[in-house]
Chains A and B, each alone.
Chain A
Amino acid sequence: MSWGGWRAFLDMGGYAGYVWGAYGAVALAVLIETVGLRARLARARRSARTRRPGSRGRS
């Protein structure tokens, strides 16, 4: 598959809005979830460090 230049590739045969709209949404969803998960895990670790063992029993 040869596109003959970046301009043609980005244009996607006139379907640029549909194709990049779809791939962009996937990229955005993955980015948001990844950043959110890293922050959540870091927050959970931080909170576990500051809380002394035994301050809350098993739930």
Chain B
Amino acid sequence: MNTNRQHPTLARVARRSAIVLALALVGCGNYSNEDLDYLSALPQTEDLSVEAPKMSPVRPALEDDALQTTSDVTTKLNAMADNLLALVDQIRSGYPTSRNGNQRIWGPGPADGNPGWQVEFTMTKDGAANPVTFEYSLLMIPPGMGIDGALTVLTGTFQATGGAHGVGQLSLTPAAARDAGAVLPGLEKLMTLTIGYDTQDWPRTLTMEVVSIPTVDPTMDARQAMYTYQRAQNGDGAMSFTFLKDAIPGPMGVDTLSITSHWQGSGAGRADIAVTAGDGAGLISWTDCWAPDETTAYNSRTGAGDATACIPLL
């Protein structure tokens, strides 16, 4: 009987040895060209970054107002982009944990800073499409919930059209996860952030639409803002955005300004400003031009400077 018992043992040992040998021969690691396609389809810094007008490290005392506003907005946009890229970079720092045909999945795994939560990132590739298209989504799974209870935090698409990178869109929707108790630093006030980018050709374009939660002081933060940015190959840039500022004295207080800025790679630029809400809404508009030294070259509202110093519209 002992002999009989030994046979399964030997067989088991032999089977395990064969498995170990087979695994050793097959190898281990994360070698893959396919995975690189998926990683390359994620938005990159160059897709989402806004290049501010050329400015010196030390700001002049008489810095032009429009230049300062444009610069402040680009800083804000880049900060939002950085938050998003930080999230994407976490995904990009590793390779998929599972593969299923044209689908790659990272996770589910623990969500940083959110004990009990899990995150799962899924990318799907449509290799038959022309251009090749990817779709992706980031889910946050509350504690104790399964995948059916997952909350979508990020969705996006990307078309590999060539050029610097391609054409993509993504939408950050943290509200549901936040309402369920997730802690999302930097996204406390954000309802949705919708981004579109196109780096297929020049000029590169980037649009951002921000919808925030209703604020206690609507004079300080716009609930909804739209940013449109273009960058030419020679360093010229343009950006359209809305901005809250008590620019026109009057009873309405803070005014909503619609600003379209253009600037050259040399540093000179202009902003065409219109009041869309507040004092003088629909009635007041002006042009503010700045010189390469960042001082005001011309202001049509005050009459200061020389109008010929303004750069043309790009």
- A pairs with B: no
